[in-house]
Chain A
Amino acid sequence: MQSNRRQVFAALLAAAAARKVKGADTPAVPGKRPMILHNDRPEDLETPVKYFDSWVTPIDAFFVRQHLPRPAAVDPAAYRLNLTGLVSKPLQVSLADLQNLPQHTLPATLECTGNGRAFYTPKLPGIQWGRGAVGNAEWSGPRLSDVLKLAGVDPAARFLEIDGADTGVMQTPDFVRSMPMEKALHPATLLALKMNGQSPDIHGFPARLIVPGWDGTSWVKWVVRLAPVAKESGGFFMNPGYRYPKYHLPPGTAARPVELEVIEGMPVKSTLTAPEDGSKAVLGPIVIRGFAWAGENAVERVEVSIDGGARWRNAQLSAQKLPFAWRLFTLNWTPQEPGYYTVMSRATDTAGRVQPIVPPWNPSGYLWNGIDRVGVTVEKA
């Protein structure tokens, strides 16, 4: 009885909450189209798949992930980047100094480490991202190695520590990350001042780290401090945050902390953007679309199935076959009969990695890269 009443009450509460939310206007995020609103303070926004219709994702449709409250607006003239730690001469670098270094542009896919978390069972705490915590942009700025050269890196430094301007409330840990020096000095690793030729704004103005092929958590926003260090940094967002079990675990079980590793390169993955899951289509030609990416590798092939994975056909891929950046794919399909179809996509990369049917469950719900799958009902006109 108790239990029944509790359920009824809970349902009433939920209904009241839903009414309240529906009645009020949902918040708008400056500069953004309507986005899937996982959180409003701080903003966590997912791109609806229907916006993914171009190789470069426009800023107004690009996903947003924030752990901590967004830092106050930066005055470009007052901005300083601190170069400290194991360097020959500690330095404070202005935005003009960064703009005076040789500028490079790199197209690269940025994906939140937790993109697809909602597809794991059992469920995991965290933002319940579906398909859209990913985007492909053209990032421009100096090489991180050129920035570090200004201060001179001590050869004893094995890692680079990076701090963003965002800080937590009360005892929330600061967002500090580190990466091996080798990746920091890689010629493709940039300190971006521009995103698609514009100011990156909510995406990390005035300076954002671009760590091509690695998960989003390494791409620190609002960078204010770079410090070459001897050892990997501690701090919540390095440990236990953003770690992945070395050995796969039975779903729903805990990992041994010593067996959790820092995530580096991303796996191979494809995402269907059309038709949309649960949609209806009229009997006739249908274009199946999507995109595929593979961390530090390039995408070699995408196969599509329209019969639940029994038979696979090669999709057409966009011409540019680059490491770090996604490729768009399409397949023209003319169903002969009405009915419900399960459409699937499976990518293979240049290193021969293939998307699995079942991605390994892990305690934080990271790196979902299962073969994508949507259902579409085809009806007679």
Chain B
Amino acid sequence: MMRTALLLLASALAAGAADQATIEKGQKEEQRTCLPCHSLRIIHTNRLSRAGWSKELDKMAGWGTKYTDRDALLEYLVATYGDDKPVTPPEMSADGRTKQ
């Protein structure tokens, strides 16, 4: 029993059970680091595992993204756009044709 409980606790820690403050910090980090090259839609339409998000952060770092709090950003992405989260259909753009 004790062993199981410890294992569970260990896996919860390993899974990085993030608290509210960390997630908020992560969202701020996203605002700070992710906007120079593209808007956030291209990020938020993805649903990725922790490993998947971590790989994306490495890819973006390779292209010049500088993190001050990579861990919080990763927690926020996994908690909000993890592969266990439902897919939300993208929005429609507004009509861009010039009206005569």
Q: A38, B17: Cβ atoms under 8 Å?
A: no
The yes or no answer to A60 lying at the interface (CB within 8 A) is: yes
Chain B interface (Cβ < 8 Å from any Cβ of A): 12, 15, 17-20, 23, 27, 36-39, 41-42, 44-48, 52, 55-56, 62-65, 79-80, 83, 85, 87-88, 90-98
Residues on the A chain within 8 Å of B94, using CB: 25-28, 34
Q: B96, A10: Cβ atoms under 8 Å?
A: no
Least CB distance from B89 to A in Å reads 8
The number of inter-chain residue pairs (CB within 8 angstroms) is: 127
Residues on the B chain within 8 Å of A125, using CB: 46, 48, 52, 55-56
The yes or no answer to A123 lying at the interface (CB within 8 A) is: yes
Given A5-B19, A27-B94, residue A127 in contact with residue B42 (CB < 8 A): yes
Assuming A3-B15, A10-B23, what are 6 further A-B pairs, CB within 8 angstroms? A5-B20, A31-B98, A32-B97, A38-B90, A40-B41, A170-B37
> How far, in whole Å, are A171 and B98 apart by their CA atoms in the complex?
36
13 A-B pairs with CB atoms under 8 Å apart are: A13-B23, A14-B85, A31-B98, A32-B95, A33-B95, A33-B96, A35-B93, A36-B92, A37-B92, A38-B41, A48-B92, A125-B55, A171-B62
> How far, in whole Å, are A6 and B18 apart by their CA atoms in the complex?
6
The yes or no answer to A9 lying at the interface (CB within 8 A) is: yes
Contact for A6 among B23, B44, B62, B65, CB less than 8 A: B23
Q: A32, B96: Cβ atoms under 8 Å?
A: yes
Contact for A69 among B17, B18, B37, B55, CB less than 8 A: B37
Interface size class of A (residues with CB under 8 A): 35 or more
Given A37-B90, A122-B83, residue A31 in contact with residue B20 (CB < 8 A): no
Would you give the 0/1 interface string for A39-64, flagging 1 where the beta carbon is closer than 8 Å to chain B? 11110111010000000000010000
> How far, in whole Å, are A170 and B66 apart by their CA atoms in the complex?
11
> How far, in whole Å, are A34 and B15 apart by their CA atoms in the complex?
40
Residues on the A chain within 8 Å of B20, using CB: 5-6, 9
Residues on the B chain within 8 Å of A172, using CB: 37, 63-64
> How far, in whole Å, are A13 and B96 apart by their CA atoms in the complex?
30
The yes or no answer to A156 lying at the interface (CB within 8 A) is: no
Q: B23, A9: Cβ atoms under 8 Å?
A: yes
Q: B42, A170: Cβ atoms under 8 Å?
A: no
Q: B12, A45: Cβ atoms under 8 Å?
A: no
Q: B19, A6: Cβ atoms under 8 Å?
A: yes
Residues on the B chain within 8 Å of A358, using CB: none
Which A residue's beta carbon lies closest to that of B26? A13
Which B residue's beta carbon lies closest to that of A40? B39
Residues on the A chain within 8 Å of B92, using CB: 26, 34-37, 48
Residues on the B chain within 8 Å of A126, using CB: 46
Residues on the A chain within 8 Å of B91, using CB: 21, 26, 37
Chain A interface (Cβ < 8 Å from any Cβ of B): 2-3, 5-7, 9-10, 13-14, 17-18, 21, 25-42, 44-46, 48, 60, 69, 118, 122-123, 125-128, 168-173
Of B64, B85, B90, B95, the most chain A CB neighbours within 10 A belong to B90
Q: A29, B96: Cβ atoms under 8 Å?
A: yes
Contact for B64 among A9, A44, A169, CB less than 8 A: A169
Which B residue's beta carbon lies closest to that of A126? B46
Residues on the B chain within 8 Å of A9, using CB: 20, 23, 79
Q: A123, B83: Cβ atoms under 8 Å?
A: yes
Residues on the A chain within 8 Å of B48, using CB: 123, 125
Q: A39, B96: Cβ atoms under 8 Å?
A: no
> How far, in whole Å, are A157 and B40 apart by their CA atoms in the complex?
42
Least CB distance from B85 to A in Å reads 8
Given A18-B88, A37-B91, residue A170 in contact with residue B63 (CB < 8 A): yes
Which A residue's beta carbon lies closest to that of B37? A169
Which A residue's beta carbon lies closest to that of B35? A41
Least CB distance from A104 to B in Å reads 29
> How far, in whole Å, are A10 and B86 apart by their CA atoms in the complex?
12
Q: B42, A44: Cβ atoms under 8 Å?
A: yes
Which A residue's beta carbon lies closest to that of B59? A125
Q: B96, A6: Cβ atoms under 8 Å?
A: no
Least CB distance from A21 to B in Å reads 7
Of B36, B42, B87, the most chain A CB neighbours within 10 A belong to B42
Given A28-B96, A31-B97, A32-B97, residue A2 in contact with residue B17 (CB < 8 A): yes
